[in-house]
Amino acid sequence: MIKKITADLEFFNPKDTLECGQIFRFFPTEKGYLVLSGDRACEIAQEGDKTAIYCEEQNEQYFYNYFDLSTDYSGIYARAQASKYDILKRASSLGKGVRILKQDSQEMLFSFLISQNNNIPRIKKIINSLSEKLGAKKRFLDYEYYAFPTASALQGASEELLKECGLGYRAPYLKILSNEILTNNLLCKLKDLNEESLKAELLKIKGIGEKVANCALLFGFYKTKSFPVDVWIEKIYREDFGGKLTDRSKITAFFIDEFAFDAGYFQQYLFYYKRSLEKQPKN
């Protein structure tokens, strides 16, 4: 049986939420988007002033949690609007419908490991190729899709196959991470740690640096007192906050000091704003 979940479009815009760099497995459909998580799928679409989520009955609670529908984003938005920074007020107005997804921790660790020194279209291509070669074939509504590969499937894959998917030098890192998950119970060890301890543990994993760790914290473990810094955030830090720091870890610390547990939400507003404006055609 297919279930329908609805949320107010004002604080959940499907396009803005999916296209702000936090998720790599979604595809446009006639209605809206097919969204994949692990071996699950749903379709989301704008219907009037609502966002509708269609999923199988057994996945209803999963996707309710996945899209973080229990969190009141009106309060987060109000705090952004009350900020002393005009740039944050403008960014939150433009990105009012952006939500942070509560994604599968294992999938996000692998995905952001792949994201190292990569652009979004190429990351999506690599992940889709891995899923097609190593994931189980599934069906939802009229759509066929592939589940994200399990740690066992990734550990058992040859480095040659992984490199064929476009991983390049990252191929051994996926094997090492798979081994940590399977033999050292990594995810159980990480799930209850606070931001600082979790980040310290993530940085011990080969291939995970400052940016990847911060992305994993926010998008894979929902630690909102984290603030990933990439080229877009660096630009906004220099151009709109008047920042002089060049070390990304120090830039991250600056924003966390300013915004505390709102840091992750505000990062998405700022990222979405800067990327949206820069992508507009110049007259």
State the Cα–Cα distance between residues 92 and 211, nearest whole angstrom. Answer: 23
CA distance 177 to 195: 20
Residue among 102, 211, 223, 274 flagged as catalytic: 211
* Residue carrying structure tokens 């998008």: 219
Distance CA 89, CA 77 (A): 9
Q: Is 199 a catalytic residue?
A: no
Please report, for residues 6, 71, 108, 119, 189, the alpha-carbon distance to residue 24 in angstroms, rounded to integers and kept in the order given.
Answer: 23, 23, 9, 11, 25
Main-chain phi, psi angles of 103, to 5 degrees: -90, 165
Cα dihedral: 150, 180, 165, 19 (round 10) = 70
User: What DSSP string describes 140-166?
Assistant: ETTEEEEPPPPHHHHHHS-HHHHHHTT
Residue 57 DSSP code: G
SS3 call for 243: coil
CB 140 within 8 A of CB 41: yes
Q: Which amino acid makes up residue 106?
A: Q
Contacts of 154 (CB under 8 A, 6+ apart): 110, 130, 134, 162, 174, 175, 177, 178
- What residues contact residue 140 under an 8 Å CB cut-off, 6+ apart? 34, 41, 42, 43, 56
Pairing of strands 2-8, 50-56: antiparallel
How long, in residues, is the chain?
Answer: 283
As annotated, the active-site residues are 211
